[in-house]
């Protein structure tokens, strides 16, 4: 049995081209699934070395750094991803989470404001901003955000403790 010429050409092309950004991204995602965050960071770093303007690689590496509580490194990667692609909603979500973890709730709110501007019907962005407001003792602002989230998607009530639901009901009845 002979191997078709196009199969040999495909294999030769793969060998000649060497590793790819997509290959390293896949490797990193597989490592994340088994919670090997250091290995994932290494694979994302290799992807970035091959394509230093891959905003998604920076953002994904930031998430792995967050998993290891490397907030400074995660924030640097989030900032780089946003500089490369300022219109990608998920980059602001990641940076908002990073800032929240760093107790920079004002910065997190700024990022969640952008996510809401980019995707105003995504209830989870209101939840995230509400928690950041709550951390800053802005209960009224948090309640308004939580109410908006519940209005957009009633299932988001599952993310909130019962003490928050009373205020939400009041806000929803007022509107």
19-76 residue pLDDT tens? 898 999 999 999 999 999 999 999 999 999 999 999 999 999 999 999 999 999 999 9
Within-domain flag for 13:
no
Within-domain flag for 125:
yes
If one counts the domains in the chain, the total is 2
CATH of the domain at 48: 1.25.40.10
Within-domain flag for 110:
no
- Tell whether 90 and 151 lie within a shared domain: no
Q: Taking 70 as the threshold, does the pLDDT of residue 15 lie above it?
A: no
- Tell whether 164 and 91 lie within a shared domain: no
Under a CB-based contact definition with an 8 Å cutoff, are residues 62 and 71 in contact? no
Within-domain flag for 10:
no
- Tell whether 28 and 64 lie within a shared domain: yes
Q: Taking 90 as the threshold, does the pLDDT of residue 171 lie above it?
A: no
Rounded Cα–Cα distance for residues 140 and 147 (Å): 11
- The range of the structural domain enclosing residue 49 comes to 20-105
Rounded Cα–Cα distance for residues 70 and 83 (Å): 20
């Amino acid at each position: 049995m002979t191997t078709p010429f196009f199969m040999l050409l495909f294999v030769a092309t793969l060998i000649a081209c060497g590793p790819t950004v997509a290959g390293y991204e896949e490797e990193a995602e597989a490592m994340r699934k088994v919670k090997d965050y250091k290995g994932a960071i290494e694979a994302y770093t290799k992807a970035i070395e091959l394509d230093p303007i891959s905003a998604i690689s920076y953002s994904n590496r930031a998430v792995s750094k967050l998993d290891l509580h490397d907030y400074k490194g995660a924030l640097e990667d989030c900032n780089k991803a946003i500089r490369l692609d300022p219109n990608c909603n998920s980059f602001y979500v990641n940076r908002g989470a990073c800032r929240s973890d760093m107790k920079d709730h004002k910065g997190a709110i700024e990022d969640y404001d952008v996510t809401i501007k980019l995707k105003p019907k995504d209830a989870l962005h209101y939840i995230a901003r509400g928690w950041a407001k709550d951390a800053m003792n802005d209960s009224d602002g948090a309640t308004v955000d939580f109410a908006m989230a519940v209005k957009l998607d009633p299932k988001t009530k599952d993310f909130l403790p019962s003490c928050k639901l009373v205020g939400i009901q009041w806000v929803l009845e007022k509107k």
